[in-house]
Amino acid sequence: MKSDGTRMRYASHLPIKGVGAAGQARIRDSHVILIGMGGLGCAAAQYLVSSGVGKLTMCDFDTVVESNLARQILYRSQDLGRLKVEVAKESLHILNPETNLELETQRMDDTRMLSSFPACDFVLDASDNYGTRLAVNRVCLSLGKPWLMASCIRMEGQLMLLRPDQPENACYRCTYGQAPDTLEDCPGAGIFAPVAGVVGTSAAHFALACLAGLSVPVGLHLLDATNWDWQTLKPKRNPDCQDCGKRS
Ligand SMILES: [Zn+2]
């Protein structure tokens, strides 16, 4: 810990079994790349920063529009038209000035991921499209980088921790091919605002637990918020998967 003041800030983490001062130091020394600053990204970023992640790179090229405000809780009415990442940086700096906040306003394609991911410890994909998720999957597989997929729509959410450094586990493409109830990407389908908060906060939990060194379960976690039912699936690795099938 840097100082007594810093230690006080994270005092509630220190008695947690498996976290303690050493786990909190690992969180402080970590760099997270967060892709997508919508409802999930806003919720996740707040807990990553408040919990003391050392560096957070936020990636989004969108500007704030009025229909974002119900669930994208880092933005205010007066922020309409501004870049989301710039507004988020101001808000998060007030929350915890100890986190180094970096911004990426270009679309995250394979090339940008390949240049930026090696320097980070964890990737959190809170984007809203399969193309980006599949690209994150490919690049994280090639680098052996742990990442988390988070998505939500209507009253449903999905979370999956992916560990390419543990090759016995299914990758995102293996899982997507087998998921019985895969969420579509459809802006018109709607999203109940608190569901984005629940899933985004859950995503921060997975990331922080992983960074602190806690044992975190892999698998696909599905939330049906209408019935408040969480289900966990254990997708099997597909030996013919075009992304991970050729690994040893
Ligand atoms: Zn695969």
Identify the weakest region by mean pLDDT among 133-142, 194-203, 237-246. 237-246
Q: How many domains does the chain have?
A: 1
CA 231 to chain CA centroid, Å, is 19
The pairing of beta strand 156-162 with beta strand 147-153: antiparallel
Domain membership flag for residue 108? yes
Do the domain assignments include residue 185? yes
The enclosing domain of 219 has a CATH number of 3.40.50.720
Q: What's the CA-to-centroid distance between 175 and ligand 1, angstroms?
A: 7
In sequence order, which residues have a C-beta less than 8 Å from that of residue 5 and are 6 or more positions away?
none
pLDDT by residue (tens digit) across 14-46? 999 999 999 999 999 999 999 999 999 999 999
Residue at 27 is within a domain: yes
d(Cα 215, Cα 200) in Å, to the nearest integer?
A: 20
Contact 192, 156 (CB under 8 A): no
Whether 186 is a known active-site residue: answer yes
In a domain, 215, yes or no: yes
pLDDT in tens, 32-82: 999 999 999 999 999 999 999 999 999 999 999 999 999 999 999 999 999
Among the listed residues 42, 140, 152, 186, the single catalytic one is 186
The pocket of ion ligand 1, defined by CB under 5 A, consists of 171, 173-174, 241, 243-244
3-state percent breakdown (helix, strand, coil) of the chain, nearest 5:
40, 20, 40
* CB proximity list for 123: less than 8 A, separation 6 or greater: 32, 33, 35, 117, 136, 140, 145, 146, 147, 148
Q: How far is the CA of 14 from the centre of ligand 1 (A)?
A: 37
Q: Does any domain span residue 2?
A: no
Residue 142: DSSP 8-state: H
How many A from CA of 4 to the centre of ligand 1?
A: 46
* 36 part of a folded domain: yes
CA 21 to ligand 1 center in whole angstroms: 36
Residue 242 belongs to a domain = no
Cα separation values, 229 from 132, 182, 189, 221, Å: 28, 16, 20, 10
Closest CA to 33 of 73, 60, 51: 60
Domain hosting residue 209, numbered range: 19-233
Flag whether 9 is in a domain: no
